[in-house]
Structure 1
């Protein structure tokens, strides 16, 4: 198996709990306004009317893997002698390693300011998302290394792995309105176009190894899901199409208290995808023999044999559509701004965030610290999740009312270690910490058009009227705000 496939395993399949860019909270960037739809991205009397990324992707990606397999994977990927190191793996102990990650890439972000009186913003976006997670045993990676690692026979339940990958296109319409001086509301309605889905849950396994003949007999039972069955996907399948449609919604609110504390609440990406009739959802309970475990092609042999087992003749009769959920989550945050010098040159904005996945156990708490000097912002983010992973991130941003560019990472130390490993640093290749992983995000947008002006000198943008929700609020609560 070529190195690129191992890299795909280590990074792409690990891409979920979150490409959450906590560092973007309360920055007022175009990306922030699409991800947290109650946030404004325009400033009257300063901003121009339209905001656009000019097709330059604004994206975030993260990945991590925990446990004993870290060294083996990094050695296979980055070492000058690219082989798995099985010395760190424990055979027969059924020790499992988590992998988890996310990709969220906006190809198009376009937003306009439509009403000064109602402070209304509307937008359109296109993005590509990938969500994945799973558990893999030490023995699974040891099998890729050498059949001689297995000195006892037979073995039970050492390959009870779990895996899920879902990728899709997302086309969205967003709306944001300030209902009164304290309360704002926004939403993002999305059409989802499924690209790829793959999932397996192995609930039982039995293996007998023959090191003399370099082969293994493997039995597995469990549940398997896959799109693109029958046949292999073509390049056309990765383009947006309506074969596997879905929908999702993101709802956000923000409220400013009398103490000037901004409280945000968001429900994000609550939705589903209905996969086409070319898909497969079936149980499997079968046995296969894997040969050539001492050859240079053993990785391909293992992969092909296991996939054939999943797609047994009986399983292939179960071809048909099924429906999956998107990785929805709820978030709650509180923030407050402080001027830290008498001349009001330095501004400090701390934000406390809690994020909980709806369909999984994932919970993350984060503290985001923005320090702004004129148009420059430096951010330090600390986060801790239910996997007991503590992370420190950093972001640098240059932002004016009509231009913004930023970049950073939410896993500064581990991203640096993985980068050094990729450059061939053997110390970092051999390092086994709490986890190995990476995180990176980049963004850019520009505003153009006429300047948004208040009534006294409004020469381009009409006042307009309050938005729909503002008018409804006024009727319900009899207020003119």
Structure 2
């Protein structure tokens, strides 16, 4: 397949950089409210009571142009190839590639109560998280979904480490105003693992000699994986309620008197139990493979690798962490222009990113430009266009315009990438509606949910934090 492999709703596991939709922060969209738990999705006197994407998924699509990877590998084998690595990567060449795809298949949110502006919602997401360590100009991994040796690349082989995890996420979210300035929110999720693989090679070498038609392979390391025995993706593997897990997200916002909006989140802190079909093992390979050259060189090598693989590993349950993040943002509106500074850091690894969202609004239309820079010294430029009313929203954007441009250019011209056969591209879009009666302010109507109840009623978070307060003496 020499064109584009599109990773759509359930086929997760591509190689794009870690991406969050920063342009959607502080937009009061349905996506913003589910991703940032303390955010509002409803506006008094304007919005209707129920919000949903109506089975129209929030897509976060990423493309992987596989290009000529098979051909490149075949050429390397037929012309001869040698590569060696012992111990950790050379820091001068080490690179890390992150991926975080997030697709909302279904979301539904309710305006619950005027007092404290209570909102609650339910959602179903499919997510994937990938991290690959590789030596620049020496190795690069090409994923084949849920294969047993997922992180072994087809080209410049055996010099990278990595892991991939994909899962369903079923969530309940709740937010409320704590007082005039503070708002608090939480998102509790049940997880169901789809697929997992982790591979670490601490010693590897490959020598291909076309004159003798042999390949000498040496590799030592460890791996963990959850996959089907036939090494193929089945519909049953994509179904939920397998490999259970839990996660939690917590968020808060604070609005200052001079109009600054501050937000802080701890997102998706959780874990997944991978069940009895999982494998874990150590491998110590020193093999010479014969008859590796010719037109079928790539297929021959993969077949031999799978044969070697069956000698290692045992069924063993294990637990994995989700990719938890800590976010902080500050924004302020200046007429039609709203800048938002966002800082994001992964909790369990060294990935971090700073982004500056520049949004211009005219009526119901807005456009955003999002330059960002990571701790891994990678620069990206994203963009987004949005049409939004109190009861309708549509947005379209890309997290990386530069890479998406080159990837689409290759696809349109039917060009082939060199050596690794790799280019990435991304696009995301979403649409949502609000239905029901308008959630008007009590001053504008004779009846509204929550109005007329006990005046001494306290919010959920007020009650929870009240246990730390001293009781008044009689």
Question: Which bin holds the TM-score, normalised by the shorter protein?
Answer: 0.7 to 0.9
**In the alignment, structure 1 residue 361 sits paired with structure 2 residue 345:** no
Q: Residue 49 of structure 1 aligns with which residue?
A: 49
Equivalent residues in 2 for 1:78-93, closer than 5 Å: 83=72, 92=83
Identify if the C-alpha distance between structure 1 residues 259 and 23 changes in structure 2 by more than 3 Å, giving closer, same or farther: same
Structure 2, unaligned stretches of length 5 or more?
86-92, 143-155, 452-456
Q: Residue 374 of structure 2 aligns with which residue?
A: 385
Note the C-alpha offset of 1:59.
2.5
Equivalent residues in 2 for 1:41-440, closer than 5 Å: 41-62=41-62, 75-76=67-68, 83=72, 92=83, 98-136=96-134, 159-228=158-227, 230-232=229-231, 235-312=234-311, 315-316=312-313, 318-339=314-335, 347-424=336-413, 436-440=423-427
Note the C-alpha offset of 1:13.
4.3
Cα distance between partner residues in 1 of 2:469 and 2:259: 23
What's the CA shift string for 1:363-390, capped at 9, x where partnerless? 1000011111110111111100022111
Cα distance between partner residues in 1 of 2:4 and 2:430: 28
Cα distance between partner residues in 1 of 2:376 and 2:274: 31
Note the C-alpha offset of 1:394.
0.9
What's the CA shift string for 1:150-175, capped at 9, x where partnerless? xxxxxxx9733212111100000000
Contact persistence 1:380–1:394 (CA under 8 A): yes
Cα distance between partner residues in 1 of 2:387 and 2:367: 9
Aligned residues: 436
Cα distance between partner residues in 1 of 2:299 and 2:447: 64
Tell me the SS of whatever aligns to 2:164.
Answer: strand
Note the C-alpha offset of 1:292.
4.4
Structure 1, unaligned stretches of length 5 or more?
65-72, 144-156, 340-346
Tell me the SS of whatever aligns to 1:293.
Answer: coil
Contact persistence 2:51–2:110 (CA under 8 A): yes
Contact persistence 2:6–2:63 (CA under 8 A): no
Note the C-alpha offset of 1:44.
0.7
Q: Residue 67 of structure 1 aligns with which residue?
A: none
Cα distance between partner residues in 2 of 1:431 and 1:366: 32
Identify if the C-alpha distance between structure 1 residues 307 and 429 changes in structure 2 by more than 3 Å, giving closer, same or farther: closer
**In the alignment, structure 1 residue 453 sits paired with structure 2 residue 453:** no
Q: Residue 148 of structure 1 aligns with which residue?
A: none
TM-score by length of 1: 0.82
